[in-house]
Structure 1
Amino acid sequence: MLDVGIYTLNFALSFLKDEIKNIIATCKKMPSGVDESNGIILEFQKGAFAFLNSSVAAISDRKGVINGTKGYICVDNINNPNSIKAYDKERKLIKDCLVPSQINGFEYEFEACFKALELNKIECDEMNHEEILKMMNLMDRVREKMGVKFIGE
Structure 2
Amino acid sequence: MLAMVFAIGWTISSAFLGVRKVRDYEVAVALATQAIEAVRAARHRELGSDKDGRKDTLLADFSSAGQPFDDEAGEGFVPVVKVGAVEFKREIFISDAPSLLEPLPSGLKVIRVVISWKAVEDGAPVVFEAVTTHADLW
Per the normalisation by structure 1, the TM-score is 0.27
| Larger relative strand fraction | 1
Per the normalisation by structure 2, the TM-score is 0.29
| Larger relative helix fraction | 2
Q: Which has the higher contact order (CA 8 A, sep 6+)?
A: 2
